[in-house]
Chains A and B, each alone.
Chain A
Amino acid sequence: MMKKILKMLATAALGLGLLAGPAMASGGAQKNAPDHDYSFEGPFGTFDRAQLQRGWEVFRQVCSSCHSLKYLRFRNLAEPGGPEFTIEQAKAFAAEYEVQDGPNDEGEMFTRPARLSDAFPSPYPNEQAAKAANNGALPPDLSLIVKAREGWYYPWYISPFIKLVKGNGGAEYVRALISGYEEPPHGEEKEGLNYNPYFPGHWIAMPPPLAGEDVEYLDGTPNTVEQEATDVAAFLAWVSMPKMEERKKIGFMALLYLLVFALLMFMVKHAIWSNVKH
């Protein structure tokens, strides 16, 4: 019922937004990301474990060659509410990476295979190295990227309602950005930049990261550009909000409790005031 009402509101809001479309098309406005029905949307939405596991493969085999994920620890991969790999799988993933540790008893820094408690290692030793390797552009850390970006831009009188129902569209933005590169209009070219209608200003330093068949999906899901983009955006959404499932679960109990409490208090209040004209 609730979901139906929300859907109707969203549709109505979108309709109004579309009417206002032409007004915002002028100027180099960002293109709205296409909506995608992610499993983690809505008050009862949860992450799709298989999708997060596929997204993790895309991230570590493609994105991680330039982007860090500094707030993700390997243990998170095995925690409830995420991709829920087994502890053994998470340990095995960690062991594939070398991290610096030390100093040891001789005062020397050394490297060792990563453990569950380690953060996902950055591909570059520091910001300057990252910029030097990428034409002066810094590949941002992706730990919070889904919360830090927005997918849709509607006029002020409709935007608050759309965002209330559909969220900020961060996952849709990431999905659209990495799978939505286009030929620049009028054959324009910019040195070291690529045309992408979803990026603010439309010119982005990152070359198209996905070509299709970039990773092999063990569960038989077709590894098209769109599917890989959808999966890695879902994975990054989980990294941005690792406690989402716990939050919604506790929220449901808390609100239910409050609702019953409030109804009881209404009856108490009503009974106390029933003999007084006010």
Chain B
Amino acid sequence: MSGHASYEFKNPVVRWIEERLPIFSTIRAQAVDFPTPRNLNYWWTFGGIAATMLVVQILTGIVLVMHYTPHVSMAFDSVEHIMRDVNYGWLLRWLHANGASFFFIAVYIHIFRGLYYGSYKAPREVLWMIGVLIFIAMMATAFMGYVLPWGQMSYWGAVVITNLFSAFPIIGETIVQWLWGGFSVGNPTLQRFFSLHYLLPFVLAALVFLHIWALHVVGNNNPDGIDVKSEEDTLPFHPYYTMKDLYAILVFFLVYLGFVFYSPWYLGHSINFAPANPLSTPAHIVPEWYFLPQYAMLRAIPDKLGGVLVMFSSLIILLFLPWLDTSKVRSNRYRPLGKIFFWLFVITCLTLGIAGSQPAEGAWLTVARIATAFYFAYFLVILPLLGKIERPKPMPASITEAVLSRH
């Protein structure tokens, strides 16, 4: 993030620091003057919202750790201690538990926005790929965080997910024992999950820094998907987008805090208020809502190893998206067919989510299989072909022209 403009600073202390580390000019260039397309809509606010949620998670998490005990015989008790005895402990715990859900809501909207407007296409491939890594890292973080309260679903979720690795031939069993730190999910498992759950958010923060760095090299995409051509296509980031993002963050927080204060365990599982019991398996083992589509794909495949490979492929395939989509047009605003298939893809993902919450049998299993097939077909067949056969609508010459034609 090197500052391209040269700024004159009057304050001698600022000047002295600036000559040794150009931090003030960098902030000025990247956070204040940064030229941003003038036509961004509210879907573009979810990046800032997601970053805010990461900060909320780290801050509440650091304080929760001051009162939590990562031990199989004390973890559940220590969470109840937080809920009952720690000043505002209940608030911290519900901010953190619901914060994970709302972090995912923001990130899922952010990802689908990128898909609709073609934000992954050149020259933003690296920006997109770092985003996919962020998504995978936050899934790992969220999974391990859900294990920490050591309730029934925490424990059985950990058992099911770690057991997936046993599907790999020859080395499977060894991997699983290595993950567990023993021969079953137990205290070593809980303690390493705790350690990694504390470490990974800082890895996430570093990845987010790289994500923003890459963004500031190539600049924002925009709803019309056309390149910035002149200065009149852009506005300075501050105050235009700082104030718009802040407004959007506040509206998002109204919903988030609505859940925190009035339905704090709505998004969780009741059974997780019962302490972990290795001798009693819950009737339905279901992951948190944000993993349901992947869970549906895992169970859609009759073969265990196949299911595991399909589930991980559903994430890895996103890394190749910039080269799978052959259309030269970024935004689906100008892609009549692309738009239709995008919405079919959204419906597919929602359907997978519902199928993941149901027992994998009967009609739901068939639905999950069809949806899984369409999920992969979208990336491997539809997007590569669509670019060849689709006739995009005429594009405006510039962002400014696009904006003015709509007024």
A interface residues, Cβ below 8 angstroms from B? 43, 71, 76, 140, 143-144, 147-150, 156, 163-164, 167-168, 170, 200, 240, 242-243, 246-248, 250-252, 254-255, 258-259, 261-262, 265-266, 268-269, 272-273, 276-278
Contacts and interface: CB of A to CB of B under 8 A. Distances in A.
Given A156-B357, A277-B404, A248 B240 contact: no
A119 B354 CA distance: 42
Interface stretch (B64-72, B197-205, B262-270): B262-270
B interface SS class: helix
A98 B273 CA distance: 28
Contact of B265 (A76, A147, A242, A277): A147
A43 B266 CA distance: 14
A265 to B, nearest CB: 4
28 contacts: A71-B80, A144-B273, A144-B274, A148-B273, A148-B274, A149-B270, A164-B266, A243-B83, A243-B90, A246-B90, A247-B91, A247-B261, A248-B262, A251-B261, A255-B261, A258-B253, A258-B257, A259-B254, A262-B254, A265-B243, A265-B247, A268-B247, A272-B240, A272-B243, A273-B240, A277-B38, A277-B404, A278-B39
Contacts of A258: 250, 253-254, 257
Contact of A164 (B251, B254, B263, B264): B263
Interface string B235-253: 1000110011011001101
B81 to A, nearest CB: 9
A273 B244 contact: yes
B336 interface: no
Contacts of A255: 254, 257-258, 261
Interface string B270-304: 11011000000001000000000000000000000
Contacts of A266: 247
Given A254-B257, A262-B251, A247 B90 contact: yes
Given A147-B273, A168-B265, A258-B253, 16 more contacts: A148-B274, A156-B357, A163-B266, A164-B266, A170-B270, A243-B83, A251-B257, A251-B260, A258-B254, A265-B250, A268-B247, A273-B240, A276-B38, A276-B235, A278-B38, A278-B40
B407 A277 contact: yes
What 9 A-B pairs have minimum CB-CB distances, sorted nearest first?
A: A251-B261, A148-B273, A262-B250, A265-B247, A147-B273, A144-B273, A243-B90, A269-B247, A148-B274
A interface SS class: helix
A125 B276 CA distance: 20
Contacts of B357: 156
Contact of A269 (B244, B261, B358): B244
A148 B247 contact: no
A203 to B, nearest CB: 15
B84 A242 contact: yes
B381 interface: no
Contacts of B258: 251, 255
B206 to A, nearest CB: 30
A242 to B, nearest CB: 6
Contacts of A262: 247, 250-251, 254
B347 interface: no
Interface in B4-49: 38-40
B403 interface: yes
Contacts of B94: 247
Contacts of B354: 156
A4 B243 CA distance: 35
A39 B126 CA distance: 55
A260 to B, nearest CB: 10
Contacts of B246: 265, 269
Contacts of A240: 273
Given A259-B254, A261-B250, A168 B270 contact: yes
A92 B177 CA distance: 53
Contacts of B274: 140, 144, 148
Contact of B270 (A150, A200, A265, A268): A150
A216 to B, nearest CB: 30
B283 A200 contact: yes
Contacts of B254: 255, 258-259, 262
A262 B255 CA distance: 12
Contacts of B273: 144, 147-148, 240
A270 B263 CA distance: 32
Contacts of B407: 277
A147 B239 CA distance: 46
A254 B240 contact: no
A86 B294 CA distance: 53
B234 to A, nearest CB: 11
Nearest to B244: A269
Nearest to A247: B261
B56 to A, nearest CB: 14
Nearest to A253: B261
Contacts of B283: 200
Contacts of A247: 90-91, 94, 261, 264
Contacts of B243: 265, 268-269, 272
Nearest to A251: B261
Given A200-B283, A268-B243, A143 B80 contact: yes
A216 B263 CA distance: 35
Contacts of A167: 263
Most buried by B among A144, A149, A164, A168: A144
A90 B143 CA distance: 42
A254 B261 contact: yes
Given A247-B264, A258-B257, A273-B240, A278 B403 contact: yes
B227 to A, nearest CB: 17
A258 B260 CA distance: 14
Nearest to A240: B273
Given A266-B247, A276-B38, A148 B270 contact: yes
B261 A71 contact: no
Nearest to A42: B262
Nearest to B273: A148
Most buried by B among A168, A242, A278: A278
